[in-house]
Chain A
């Protein structure tokens, strides 16, 4: 076996890889932001003692967590046009990522909310907050703080999992790698460099999350 690694074939395409990396970051950040909002609603629905909404939210969580991301992606991308909803690959990608991320974070937030002592709700009531206000301004921030590490690692899983959207020709980092290796035929080098870029992105986000923790959450008692 005559092995020679030729990484110099990858360098002319670094600009394309950076473009793909940027789209991966955009997809992930947008999906995580929207997913977190849905997750807060879902967690609220599960804990709100209204049976039908709790049941719907629970089924949503189970359905998302027990089916593959790739199948969810195909379902959104290929079957929504059947009911007249034609999506671009990137739109389908971000929608599937929102669904997937929220499915996991509902569970995380629910646990975090339940861990907050009931007197916190009562205290909110006693100073005249409505249930919605109590949830948004007292309970949710604490729940996010308590589950911060789970939420951020879920974010990293979402970022890595987003490489799967290349399967429906969204143009994320992995799709860009596929494209480049089809031009220069150096698949090993291209994929290794791409994997390295993912490692760096995840590492950078970990630093960012640590900074956010320092700035916003660490000062709370």
Chain B
């Protein structure tokens, strides 16, 4: 018990690493996801690689993607520090899922909106940025926030390649104190405290859009 209390500050400090991983991966992943979603609507020839990328990202385990980036690329001569590997792998994971969410949202905007903007003299780019984009963003918001929860949870995989994030710190303190139940309970509670508000927000947004179910 004393050991666990003594290491509580370390556990809280490592939450910062988890949040840092989450925020960088979310930002880079959002850029990638946007590129995938736009590629889908922009040109039929771009649709094939976009779809291929998404199905590979969604069809293989995230942990394996992390291993390919961290251990696989090292064998090929590109030796990345664990932190970079983790951010890259998590960003790849995020861009695949966000790309798919946003593609769906863009396709959910009625085609007549494109026609209407054409008839008002908007170009494709203007129509996308000023008319279809904002509507798609609103449609995609609940699923996007929901995905952020899963991205935040997925950052825990970074502990497997040796990043001292919340999960890894939990493992170390559990090993030191011989109180795994208490320590993993605390770690789970911290993840819960971070994820739950996002989950609630996602559900509230969904209800706002579709009415109470």
Contacts and interface: CB of A to CB of B under 8 A. Distances in A.
A50 interface: no
A191 B85 CA distance: 15
B171 to A, nearest CB: 7
Nearest to B146: A65
Interface in B149-171: 149, 153-157, 159-160, 167, 170-171
Contact of A66 (B64, B67, B191): B191
Interface in A164-187: 164, 166-167, 174, 177-178, 181, 185-187
A188 B171 contact: no
Nearest to A1: B77
Contacts of A194: 64
A187 B72 CA distance: 5
Identify whether the interface residues of B are mostly helix, strand, loop, or mixed. helix
A163 B62 CA distance: 8
Given A62-B196, A74-B170, A114-B213, A67 B65 contact: no
A71 B63 contact: no
Nearest to B193: A66
A211 B184 CA distance: 41
A68 B154 contact: yes
Interface string B51-90: 0000010011111110110011111111000000000000
B64 A177 contact: yes
A191 B67 contact: yes
B181 A160 contact: no
B12 interface: no
A67 B68 contact: no
Interface string A70-92: 11101100110011000000000
Contacts of B156: 68-71
A138 interface: no
A67 B71 contact: no
A198 B188 contact: no
Contacts of A187: 67, 71-72, 74-75
A65 B192 CA distance: 9
A170 to B, nearest CB: 13
How many chain A residues sit at the interface, stated as a range, is 35 or more
Contacts of A69: 153, 156
Contacts of B167: 68, 70-71, 74
Given A67-B188, A192-B72, A164 B180 contact: no
A25 interface: no
A136 interface: no
Contacts of B195: 65-67
B59 to A, nearest CB: 5
Contacts of B149: 65-66
B64 A111 contact: no
Contacts of A164: 61, 63, 157
B102 to A, nearest CB: 18
B8 interface: no
A3 interface: yes
B199 interface: yes
A177 B180 CA distance: 28
Nearest to B194: A66
Interface in B167-203: 167, 170-171, 174, 179-181, 184-185, 187-188, 191-192, 195-196, 199
A82 B180 contact: yes
Contact of B64 (A71, A72, A195): A195
A185 B74 CA distance: 11
B79 to A, nearest CB: 11
A63 interface: yes
Given A70-B160, A188-B68, 19 more contacts: A1-B78, A62-B192, A62-B196, A65-B149, A66-B191, A66-B199, A68-B191, A70-B156, A71-B170, A74-B171, A75-B180, A111-B213, A160-B61, A163-B62, A166-B63, A188-B72, A188-B76, A195-B65, A195-B68
12 contacts: A5-B76, A63-B192, A66-B149, A70-B160, A71-B188, A71-B191, A75-B181, A82-B179, A160-B60, A163-B61, A188-B72, A195-B68
